[in-house]
Amino acid sequence: MVYAIGCLLFFTVAACRPPADDAAIRFEQLNIEPITEQYASGRVYADISLHHVLTLPVDSDVKLFDLGPVVADTKGHIYVVDYGVDKVFRFSSNGEYVTSYGTGVGEAPGELLSISDFGVSGNSIVYIVDSYGRKVSFYEMDGTFIRSRPVSHQPWRYARTDGGREYTLFANHFDAELESRIEDDVVAFDRFATQPDEIGLWTGGWLNTYQEHLIYALVRFPIVLRYAPDGSMVYARTTPDYADFEEPDVEHRMLGGTQARRVTGEILTGSPIAVENEHLFVHTNIPGGAVDVYDVGTGNYKYSMRLPVNTYTYVKNDRIYQSQDSTVSVWAIERPSG
């Protein structure tokens, strides 16, 4: 099955123009500057097609229930979180079940109270962020539990470089949203949410690494950030969503006698971001869904790819991985020859 995709890549040049000045772009809830606008008139879709490769699990005796995000490593192994059983499952590149990570719900070694993030470091270690348990747990590729690192504040996202540097995004740390750590050397980034008591409402996002740097795509704001290990900002770039962006707000209401808060506005970045071959891949939650591709070194927007369905999406190995309900679909990216 071939899923045909949009217009030609050379329109990218026509869609972007150099900025007239370097004025900062400001948001009411965030203090990030300078932010460079991409000046894109809209998404520019590359001339590619998607070919369906497989749907997993291929084993009839393997049951998946409530799938969340999916990722893949450079060897083509596929990892997906099943919130129905609070585990991360690993499959081969052919869709065959290999193992799972997490020994059950609880606080004992290897057990988890919640899964807010997960990933693979160096094709050798699987990590899982337990937000409620305030820890990051590490597993061998075969599923064997290695250790957990306690986290003093509630972790939300996590990324690890090949050199062992760890980046953590917190859900409720009023002094800093982000932290860079290598062993006991810890750097707290400057806080950029303007309302400290509502940090988690504005700074949610997805993390990945580039060399020893952090790449950070916010969920509710059309911004992609790159940080050096010392917390200094390398770039802050708007995404193509910026042209039509309406800043979210907070609604306060009473639920069962308790005051609750809810953020209005759309989820812009719907899945884990991927970095490969000097490219940054960001799933954007527009109607129908798309993957925006950036030059990870500069943050410059390059082009976009349409998706078969708008669901959890990850790009790796010239493949698009999508999880939905109880299955994962894999699509090969095919570009015109010549």
pLDDT tens sequence across 8-21: 333 333 344 444 44
pTM: 0.90
Query: Residue range 88-101: average pLDDT?
Result: 96
pLDDT tens across 106-138, in order? 888 888 999 999 999 987 899 999 999 999 999
d(CA 25, CA 34): 7
49-56 β-sheet, strand order: 2-4, 49-56, 327-334, 319-324, 312-316
pLDDT of residue 40: 62
Taking 60 as the threshold, does the pLDDT of residue 153 lie above it?
yes
Q: How confident is the model at residue 265 (pLDDT cuts 50, 70, 90)?
A: confident
Taking 50 as the threshold, does the pLDDT of residue 1 lie above it?
no
pLDDT of residue 15: 40
Q: How confident is the model at residue 97 (pLDDT cuts 50, 70, 90)?
A: very high
Taking 80 as the threshold, does the pLDDT of residue 5 lie above it?
no
